[in-house]
Structure 1
Amino acid sequence: MRRLTVGLALLSSLVSWPWLTGPADSDPGAPAARATGRGTNILIVGTDSRSGLSAAEKRRLHVGGEGCDCTDVMMLVHLSDDRRRASIVSIPRDSYVEYATPEGATTPARRGKINGAFKIGRGPLAVRTVEKVTGLHIDHYLETGFTGFEQAVNNLGGATVCTDKPLKDENSGLDITAGRHHVDGNGALRYARARHINPPGDLGRVRRQQRLLADMLADLTARGALGDPVSAATTAHKLLKSVHTDERTGLVDLVRIGWSLGRLSADRTEFATVPISHFDHRVPGVGSTLLWHKGRSQALWDALRADRPITGDTRILPVPETRAETDPARIKVRVDDATVAKALRRNGFAVTDTSAFAPAVRPAGPPVITYPIGREADAATLAAALPEAHQRATSRTDAVFDVAVGSEPVAVRTVTYDRNVAEGAPVTADSLRCSN
């Protein structure tokens, strides 16, 4: 009886939501478009604070050391106006921005890492700072800490993580084997916090956080936890036990958001990270920061403001003629032809010219790339620059690639490596989620 009463109460609250009562399109199960507005923006943050944690809790959560009392995770979720698409954008914690002015402040606005806005003015200043640097209005705000995240994942039934190779990070406590794993809140926290695994740093961690969220949404949807107002209310109630919201966000709002997300297919849920132009911008007194790519990041915010998809938008992520999947600067190459060596060096490869030791008579055929076993991705990058070359794996352990030029002419193609592609390109959830 109580479940029925809750359901009726929620339906009476939700019936005024325009897309629930308007005409549907050719998909009878799809919500209809709303008449006005440009979608809904939700800011989700995870804080880095050890305040109130006992020594035992710190050991259990593997969060020793001093917290920064800042935001450790920041995701902006945009629900389209017709509720047929969700775009989830991660804002890296080290983004160098100008903060919004705190209430009552008379001094000029400060600049710093975006995660520091929370320390200055808690959630309200974090929200206003995101609004200032993105030009988007934030409609709802959700915040949790280490224990809140752990409890939320546990209350929602755990999470799925997957990896094609073992992952171990002493700082976060992550230690999992290759494969697919169902983890509790503690395991999910370790996975989400890991920064010292490949790809390293904050952007690699952010992509793993996106993958974790994509799989949690898929699992909640598959279990019917977001399938109707009552189920969505039950899920929202569990979330509210460990997640704080602003005064504009209540149970009904979370039900609406959850129900919207639960009705989306994986190809209608997008994930991206703000495009970066400088990955190690040093600022005195602040340290290493990230600078947003002005043109691409503005295109990202413009797309969300206009309620457009972000995947496939070449203004956000231009498509190079020949894309390098890994960083040429990290690939050491010995080349026995001076001209080819020079051309590869212009492409950014770490080249040693060994033409002085080249054979007097070149072997018949195209160039041959000899590479260490396990470096297939780097071999593909080098082969993209030498499209006619043959590849040969070797068991040697010196981690150096050799290019032996043959009798045929060699064309060196210009390749483009964009770290934003590898670690934060706009993609749909079906390309992020763990495969069955």
Structure 2
Amino acid sequence: MRRLTAGLTVLAGLASWPWLGAQTAPAADGPAARDSGRGTNILIVGIDSRTGLSAGEKRRLHVGGEGCDCTDVMMLVHLSEDRRRASVVSIPRDSYVEYAAPEGTTGAAPRGKINGAFKIGRGPLAVRTVEKVTGLSVDHYLETGFTGFEQAVNDLGGATVCSDKPLKDENSGLDITAGTHHLDGNRALGYARARHLDPPGDLGRVRRQQRMLADLLEGLTVRGALADPVKAADTARRLLRSVRTDVGTGMNDLIGIGWTLGRLPADRVEFATVPIAHFDHRVPGVGSTLLWHESRSRALWEALRADRPITGDTRILPVPETRAETNPARITVRVDDAEVATALRRSRFLVTDTSASAPAERPAGPPLITFPDGREADANTLAAALPGARLRAAARADGIFDVTVGSEPIVVKTVTYDRNVAEGAPVTADRLRCAGSPPPAS
């Protein structure tokens, strides 16, 4: 009887879901271009604050350093108007933006890292700043801290993560081997916070967060935790124990959001990171920041406002003629042909010209790339610049790639490396998540 009563209560509330129809009014201080658009936008943030944590909790969570009292994670989730697609866009914490004006202030708004808006004006200013810089209206706001994240992951059955190499970061407590792992909330927090990995910085961490969220949603779907409004209501109640919301977001909103996400196949859930133009923009008094790519980020927000998919949009992610999957600037190459060496430098490979010691008679065939064991991805990048080249792995400790030019004519292509592609390109969840279904909750 209790389950039936709960079900009737939830179903009765469906008619009042505000996110199914009318949107919240845009904030008054944002740009004129901002409007609610179509669909529903939810801002999800994780807070970096040690307030209220005991010494034991700090040790257990590996958060012994000084907190910034700012947003450590920021994701904007867009649910399409027809509820058949979800787009999740991560906004890196070091994005350099102009804040919305704090309540009751006049004059020019300050600029800084987007994560600092929370410290100035808490959740309301974080929301209004996101609205200002994206031109979108935020309809719902969800916020959690370290312990809240830990509890939420535990309540939702844990998180599945995977990696093709061991991951260890002493600062966050992350220490996992290569492969697939089902993590509890404590270990999932370490995975989500890790920044001191290869490649270092925020974008790699953001992509890992997206992978974890994709698998978390898949796990909830597999376990039927979002299969109908009643089950979604139970999941929402558990979530509310560890997540704070704005005054305009209630139980029915969370049920509706969860039910929508639970019915979406993985190829209808998109993940992306705001495209970056400058990864180390130095600002006095602020430090190293990220500058958004103006035209590509604008295209991203326009697509969401128009309720269009973000995957496959070449305005957001142009397709180069020859794409490098890894960074040529981190690949050291010795080349026994001066012209080839010069051409490879145009793509920023670190090239040493060894043509002075090249044999008088070239070996038959196309060029040969001899590369260190375990550097297959970098070998493929070099091979993209040398179409038709043969590849041969070798055990070598110096990390150098050798190119031996053969007797056949050789064409060197200029390859384009885009860090946004490697760490934040728009992609659907079925391509992002771990292979196979997540295990059931223990």
Using the size of structure 2 for normalisation, the TM-score is: 0.94
1:64 equivalent in alignment to 2:64:
yes
Q: Name 1:30's counterpart in structure 2.
A: none
Measured in 2, the distance between the counterparts of 1:46 and 1:412 equals: 46
- SS at structure 2 position matched to 1:11: helix
Quote how far apart the aligned CAs of 1:106 are: 1.9
Measured in 2, the distance between the counterparts of 1:370 and 1:418 equals: 25
1:96 equivalent in alignment to 2:100:
no
Quote how far apart the aligned CAs of 1:324 are: 0.3
The 5 Å alignment of 1:343-358 reads 343-358=343-358
Deviations 1:113-169 (A, max 9, x none): 000000000000000000000000000000000000001111111111111211111
Q: Name 1:25's counterpart in structure 2.
A: none
Is the alpha carbon distance of 1:133 and 1:378 closer, same or farther for their aligned partners in structure 2, counting shifts above 3 Å?
A: same
Q: Name 1:31's counterpart in structure 2.
A: none
Quote how far apart the aligned CAs of 1:199 are: 2.6
Is the alpha carbon distance of 1:19 and 1:286 closer, same or farther for their aligned partners in structure 2, counting shifts above 3 Å?
A: closer
Q: Which runs of 4+ in 1 moved over 6 A?
A: 18-21
Measured in 1, the distance between the counterparts of 2:430 and 2:407 equals: 45
Q: Name 2:387's counterpart in structure 1.
A: 387
- SS at structure 1 position matched to 2:44: strand
Q: Name 2:309's counterpart in structure 1.
A: 309
Measured in 1, the distance between the counterparts of 2:244 and 2:357 equals: 67
Deviations 1:314-343 (A, max 9, x none): 000011111100000000001111000000
The 5 Å alignment of 1:126-141 reads 126-141=126-141
Quote how far apart the aligned CAs of 1:18 are: 10
- SS at structure 1 position matched to 2:213: helix
The aligned amino acid for 1:220 is: L
1:407 equivalent in alignment to 2:396:
no
The aligned amino acid for 2:82 is: D
Is the contact between residue 368 and residue 389 of structure 2 (CA under 8 Å) also seen in structure 1? yes
The aligned amino acid for 1:103 is: E
Quote how far apart the aligned CAs of 1:2 are: 2.1
Deviations 1:167-196 (A, max 9, x none): 111111001111111111001101101111
- SS at structure 2 position matched to 1:115: helix
Measured in 1, the distance between the counterparts of 2:63 and 2:401 equals: 40
Q: Name 1:338's counterpart in structure 2.
A: 338
Q: How many residues align?
A: 422
Quote how far apart the aligned CAs of 1:219 are: 0.5
- SS at structure 2 position matched to 1:132: helix
1:146 equivalent in alignment to 2:146:
yes
Q: Name 1:212's counterpart in structure 2.
A: 212
Structure 2, unaligned runs of 5 or more: 22-35, 437-442
Measured in 1, the distance between the counterparts of 2:317 and 2:307 equals: 17
- SS at structure 1 position matched to 2:309: coil
Deviates more, 1:385-394 or 1:7-16: 7-16
- SS at structure 2 position matched to 1:396: coil
Deviations 1:347-380 (A, max 9, x none): 1101111111111111111111110000000000
The 5 Å alignment of 1:22-421 reads 38-421=38-421
Is the alpha carbon distance of 1:126 and 1:17 closer, same or farther for their aligned partners in structure 2, counting shifts above 3 Å?
A: closer
The aligned amino acid for 2:363 is: P
Percentage of identical aligned residues = 81
Q: Name 1:3's counterpart in structure 2.
A: 3
The aligned amino acid for 2:139 is: D
Measured in 2, the distance between the counterparts of 1:42 and 1:19 equals: 10
Measured in 1, the distance between the counterparts of 2:143 and 2:17 equals: 25
Is the alpha carbon distance of 1:387 and 1:115 closer, same or farther for their aligned partners in structure 2, counting shifts above 3 Å?
A: same
Measured in 2, the distance between the counterparts of 1:281 and 1:164 equals: 31
Quote how far apart the aligned CAs of 1:20 are: 9.1
Measured in 2, the distance between the counterparts of 1:164 and 1:149 equals: 25
Q: Name 1:13's counterpart in structure 2.
A: 13
Q: Name 1:27's counterpart in structure 2.
A: none
Measured in 2, the distance between the counterparts of 1:325 and 1:109 equals: 39
- SS at structure 2 position matched to 1:43: strand
Deviations 1:16-60 (A, max 9, x none): 559999xxxxxxxxxxxxxx9600000000000011111100000
Structure 1, unaligned runs of 5 or more: 22-35
More contact order relative to length (CA 8 Å, sep ≥ 6): 2
Quote how far apart the aligned CAs of 1:15 are: 3.4
Is the contact between residue 37 and residue 81 of structure 1 (CA under 8 Å) also seen in structure 2? no
The Cα RMSD (Å) is: 1.4
Is the contact between residue 17 and residue 253 of structure 2 (CA under 8 Å) also seen in structure 1? no
Q: Name 2:29's counterpart in structure 1.
A: none
Measured in 2, the distance between the counterparts of 1:178 and 1:254 equals: 35
The aligned amino acid for 1:348 is: R
Measured in 2, the distance between the counterparts of 1:420 and 1:180 equals: 25
Is the contact between residue 99 and residue 112 of structure 1 (CA under 8 Å) also seen in structure 2? yes
